[in-house]
Amino acid sequence: MAEQRHTLAEMARLLESGAISSRELTEASLARIEARDSELNAFITVTAETALAAADRADQQRAKGNAGPLTGIPIAQKDIFCTAGVATTCASRMLENFVSPYDATVVERLNAAGLISVGKTNMDEFAMGSSNETSYFGAVKNPWDPARSPGGSSGGSAAAVAAGLVPMATGTDTGGSVRQPAALCGITGFKPSYGRVSRYGMIAFASSLDQAGVLALTAEDAALITQLIAGFDERDSTCSDQPVPDYMAALASSVAGKKIGVPTEYFDGLDDNCAQAMHAAFDVYRQLGAEIIDVHLPNLPLAVPTYYVVSPAEASSNLSRFDGIRFGYRADGAEDIESLYKQTRSVGFGDEVKRRIMTGTYVLSAGYYDAYYLKAQKVRQLISNDMARCFEQVDIIAGPTTPTPAFRLGEKVDDPVQMYLNDIYTVSANLAGLPGISVPCGLVDGLPVGLQLIGPHFAEAAVLNFAHQYQLHSDWHKLLPGGTN
């Protein structure tokens, strides 16, 4: 079914020309989900009835001339975004039966633009994972090879887009959870700056790191969606009120004369074939007139340990609300309040979530706060300073998204440290709050690899521009699972 894959921009043109209706697009998307999802496990909930009703309304709007450019296009929402009247599970037994009474801002804004959600995608439980194997609803499979991981935590969204089930899906990126699955599934994954997109209604993992993002086929599509979801929201105190530029207009800018920084530290431990793909991508930029410059991120080796102190600490605080009393799963047979907490959280949370809660509680505890959490925050600042120094020399930082192509399911599940190291190239952008994108740049052993581009704070337009210009002069983003286009 992947051969029917179309970008958002292509679908918008088809709808505008009258060549196809929203009803037909939505029916085709639902048919592909029915045909493929038993193999991929990309969706937790499919909302066929409401999607088709919304498609009919979209067609009516278009007939009256009241439609926006993306009205009537089917998409999917990561199951971390609260969606009114629809189960929002965060892929956890804790929220298996939770139906949200309201929409997250991201959902609200996409609905207002007329896009149609066909369902909620699978993910690592509470967004904690790099392989989409921690989901209570089972692992997601990579469309390029069902024996391999699609990446995480937004693995369901990435797999759904790569397989052509939907042209775009939302994701969240706390340490690379949009960019890493995009790289492993051969699509485009964009994380805006921290604060650019409201986190209201997005179930929290680590509040100083979480950011909503976009998984799509192209940087152009990522720009289309980011234009809709970016901007101030008074309901999120961390949401920036900086004006949102015209991302689509920025795509056409030339990169000639621009400087691209490549951290030499990125190539320590990088798969040799992945390194060759990176150098080939840099050659494309040279042909476009950009200058490639070596830069240094001396604190890069500390990024993963810093992240895995800060994020569990914040998770420990955020997940304390799931106690079996107010909402979510509640254990039966508890004799008192303490046993209710213990039984509910022991059964309601999976192993990885419990591991991170325990780690976070430990590093925040009396006697260990200064030694771990406070020190991690100081190193976080050093990492941010490293990035800032690079941007004094260059316009963008480029390098690999992941150390290797997609690994086999089960290969790292018993070794948390090896799993965490998959985030080595992505976590720095989260620790510093910077925008980043992953775009396909090659195949290694028949599996896609991603080129990551990171920009300064609120430089989403530049990041999208560099990604789009690369995609205008390469065809890797056009490859379908199986290696054909």
Known catalytic membership, residue 153: yes
Catalytic choice (78, 120, 191, 412): 78
Mean pLDDT confidence for 321-340: 92
| 310: amino acid identity, one letter | V
Q: What percent of the chain has pLDDT over 70?
A: 99
Confidence (pLDDT) at 3: 45
Q: Is the pLDDT of residue 343 over 90?
A: yes
Q: 482: pLDDT confidence band, cut at 50, 70 and 90?
A: confident
Q: What is the pLDDT of residues 304-325, one digit of tens each?
A: 999 999 999 999 999 999 999 9
Q: pTM (2 decimals)? A: 0.97
Mean pLDDT confidence for 246-270: 97
Backbone angles phi, psi at 283, to 5 degrees: -65, -35
Known catalytic membership, residue 339: no
Confidence (pLDDT) at 417: 85
- Cα separation, 229 vs 198, in Å, equals 8
Q: Is the pLDDT of residue 253 over 90?
A: yes
The answer to whether 180 touches 422, Cβ cutoff 8 Å, is: yes
Known catalytic membership, residue 78: yes
Mean pLDDT confidence for 40-55: 98
Q: Is the pLDDT of residue 83 over 90?
A: yes
- Cα separation, 205 vs 26, in Å, equals 32
Structure tokens at 29: 């998307």
Cβ-Cβ contacts under 8 Å for 343 (sequence gap 6 or more): 324, 331, 333, 334
Confidence (pLDDT) at 208: 98
Confidence (pLDDT) at 93: 98
- Cα separation, 20 vs 387, in Å, equals 46
Mean pLDDT confidence for 183-205: 98
Confidence (pLDDT) at 2: 36
The answer to whether 324 touches 341, Cβ cutoff 8 Å, is: yes
Q: 5: pLDDT confidence band, cut at 50, 70 and 90?
A: confident
Catalytic choice (29, 100, 177, 240): 177
Q: Is the pLDDT of residue 466 over 80?
A: yes
The answer to whether 257 touches 250, Cβ cutoff 8 Å, is: no
Confidence (pLDDT) at 269: 86
Mean pLDDT confidence for 93-115: 97
- Cα separation, 342 vs 196, in Å, equals 37
Catalytic choice (22, 92, 153, 438): 153
Q: Is the pLDDT of residue 283 over 90?
A: yes
Mean pLDDT confidence for 340-349: 96
Mean pLDDT confidence for 79-94: 98
Average pLDDT of every residue of the chain: 96
Mean pLDDT confidence for 56-77: 97
Q: What is the pLDDT of residues 217-228, one digit of tens each?
A: 999 999 999 999
What structural domains does the chain harbor? 2-253+457-478 (3.90.1300.10)
